[in-house]
Amino acid sequence: MAGNTFGQLFRVTTFGESHGPALGAVVDGVVPGIPLTEKDIQIELDRRRPGQSNVTTPRREDDTVEILSGVFEGKTTGAPIALLIRNRDQKSSDYDALRDIFRPGHADFTYLAKYGIRDHRGGGRASGRETAGRVAAGAVAKKILKTFGIRVYAYTQAIGKVTAQSVDLEVIDKNPVRAPDLKSAELMILEIERVRGAGDSIGGIIEAVVKGCPPGLGDPVFEKLNAIIGHGLLSIGAVRGVEFGAGFAAAQMKGSEHNDNFSVEDKKITSATNNAGGILGGISTGADIVLRVAVKPTSSIASEQKTVTIDQKPTTVTVTGRHDPCLCPRLVVVVEAMLAMSILDALLIQKGLCPNE
Q: Which of residues 282-311 bind a second copy (CB under 8 A)?
A: 282-286, 294-301, 303, 305-308
Closest CB to a second copy among residues 174, 273: 273
159-198 residues in contact with a second copy (CB under 8 A) are 160-161, 195
Q: Which range in 27-35, 53-61, 164-172, 182-190 contacts a second copy by CB under 8 A? A: 27-35
Q: Which range in 36-44, 49-57, 178-186, 233-241 contacts a second copy by CB under 8 A? A: 233-241
237 binds a second copy (CB under 8 A): yes
Q: What number of other Cβ atoms are within 10 A of residue 170's Cβ?
A: 7
37 binds a second copy (CB under 8 A): no
Nearest to 47 by CA among 147, 155, 191, 208: 155
End-to-end CA distance of the chain: 31
Q: How far is the CB of 171 from a second copy (least distance, A)?
A: 21
Q: What are phi and psi of 175, to 5 degrees?
A: -140, 145
The DSSP output letter for 122 is G
Closest CB to a second copy among residues 33, 174: 33
244 binds a second copy (CB under 8 A): yes
136 binds a second copy (CB under 8 A): no
Q: How far is the CB of 209 from a second copy (least distance, A)?
A: 16
Q: What is the rounded CA–CA span in Å between residue 130 and residue 16?
A: 7
Look up residue 240 and give its amino acid: R
- Judged by CB under 8 A, the residue of 215, 274, 288, 322 near a second copy is 215
Closest CB to a second copy among residues 2, 39: 2
DSSP 3-state of 4: coil
Under a CB-based contact definition with an 8 Å cutoff, are residues 285 and 276 in contact?
A: yes
Q: What is the rounded CA–CA span in Å between residue 132 and residue 122?
A: 15
Q: Which range in 52-60, 135-143, 166-174, 249-257 contacts a second copy by CB under 8 A? A: 249-257
348 binds a second copy (CB under 8 A): yes
Q: What is the rounded CA–CA span in Å between residue 319 and residue 316?
A: 10
- Judged by CB under 8 A, the residue of 97, 113, 182, 190 near a second copy is 113
321 binds a second copy (CB under 8 A): no
- Judged by CB under 8 A, the residue of 234, 288, 321, 322 near a second copy is 234
Residue 136 to residues 66, 83, 324, 337, 338, Cα–Cα distance (Å): 10, 7, 21, 8, 11
- Judged by CB under 8 A, the residue of 61, 63, 119, 181 near a second copy is 119
Strands 22-28 and 11-16: antiparallel
- Judged by CB under 8 A, the residue of 48, 49, 118, 330 near a second copy is 118
Q: What number of other Cβ atoms are within 10 A of residue 343's Cβ?
A: 29
281 binds a second copy (CB under 8 A): yes
213 binds a second copy (CB under 8 A): no
Q: Please count the residues of this chain forming the interface with a second copy, following the rule CB under 8 A.
A: 154
Closest CB to a second copy among residues 182, 249: 249
- Judged by CB under 8 A, the residue of 42, 64, 77, 90 near a second copy is 77
Under a CB-based contact definition with an 8 Å cutoff, are residues 117 and 44 in contact?
A: no
- Judged by CB under 8 A, the residue of 169, 174, 257, 318 near a second copy is 257
**116 CB-near residues (< 8 Å, 6+ apart):** none
Rg (CA), the chain: 21
Find residue 13's DSSP bridge partners: 5, 26
